Amino acid sequence: MVKLTMIARVTDGLPLAEGLDDGHDQKDIEFYKQQAKLLFKNLSRGQNEASRMSIETGPYFFHYIIEGHVCYLTMCDRSYPKKLAFQYLEDLKNEFERVNGNQIETAARPYAFIKFDTFIQKTKKLYLDTHTQRNLAKLNDELYEVHQIMTRNVQEVLGVGEKLDQVSELSSRLTSESRIYADKARDLNRQALIRKWAPVAIVLGVVVLLFWVKQKIW
């Protein structure tokens, strides 16, 4: 099953588009997104020359293809057929080049083509069930071979220890920042409520005090 899809420019690692997730396993996915971004940075430095590669990472595989200075990457379960994963990427590549080809080099901001998510989601559904007649035909297509595509471990690609520590640290920092943001939002809400109701409380307090004093006098 396809878990994650990202498209980036190879020359500088700039993310161009992404298959937006459905919110499940959010913490898990964020960790692998950071790994994918580090892979893009490595590619932008020319550290991996292969135009097609599979990379083991935990219970998943990253698969990517590079064409026209663009990297199309997906992350799938280990059990998902490698041939289908690469044909899925080929479908994305063909459509992305057709729709956005003349704008890729001039894109200046991250996720400039985020609307491409619509096509990613539609295509992902086609590859969801590996036993459909369409996908079985693709698996049996002898003209499309993936046996010679290199498979490496993510630690080999990113570097043992240091880069993975960066991913863990970044994920932890993002989680921590989210909590800080939530705490600040709650504090601001409390302060807004206090500002709104404090004058009313003061007036009521004065009225009650005057009433009490009046009762004592009389």
Are residues 101 and 192 located together in one domain of the fold? no
**CATH no. for residue 142?**
3.30.450.50
pLDDT above 80 for 173: no
Are residues 100 and 143 located together in one domain of the fold? yes
Are residues 85 and 179 located together in one domain of the fold? no
pTM of the entire structure? Answer: 0.69
Q: What percent of the chain has pLDDT over 70?
A: 78
76 within 8 A of 2, measured Cβ to Cβ = yes
Measure the CA–CA gap between 61 and 85, rounded to whole angstroms: 10
| pLDDT band at 158; cut points 50, 70, 90 | confident
Q: Please report, for residues 171, 189, 192, 216, the alpha-carbon distance to residue 88 in angstroms, rounded to integers and kept in the order given.
A: 28, 46, 50, 85
Measure the CA–CA gap between 203 and 146, rounded to whole angstroms: 78
pLDDT 10s digits, 73-95: 999 999 999 999 999 999 999 99
Supply the pLDDT for residue 160.
46
180 token code pair: 């800080």
**Neighbouring C-alpha atoms within 13 Å toward the C-beta of 85:** 29
Are residues 148 and 80 located together in one domain of the fold? yes
Are residues 154 and 185 located together in one domain of the fold? no
Count helices and strands in the chain by DSSP H and E runs: 6, 6
174 token code pair: 């993002």
Final residue before a domain boundary, out of 128, 145, 163: 163
Are residues 6 and 57 located together in one domain of the fold? yes
Are residues 114 and 149 located together in one domain of the fold? yes
Q: Which of 73, 66, 64, 69 is nearest to 101 (CA)?
A: 69
Are residues 175 and 135 located together in one domain of the fold? no
Total domains, the chain = 2
Are residues 101 and 69 located together in one domain of the fold? yes
Are residues 159 and 169 located together in one domain of the fold? no
Residue numbers of the domain that contains 198: 165-217
| DSSP states along 102-151 | GGTTT--STTTTGGGHHHHHHHHHHTT-TTSHHHHHHHT-TTS--TTSEE
Are residues 62 and 34 located together in one domain of the fold? yes
| pLDDT band at 179; cut points 50, 70, 90 | low
Are residues 156 and 179 located together in one domain of the fold? no
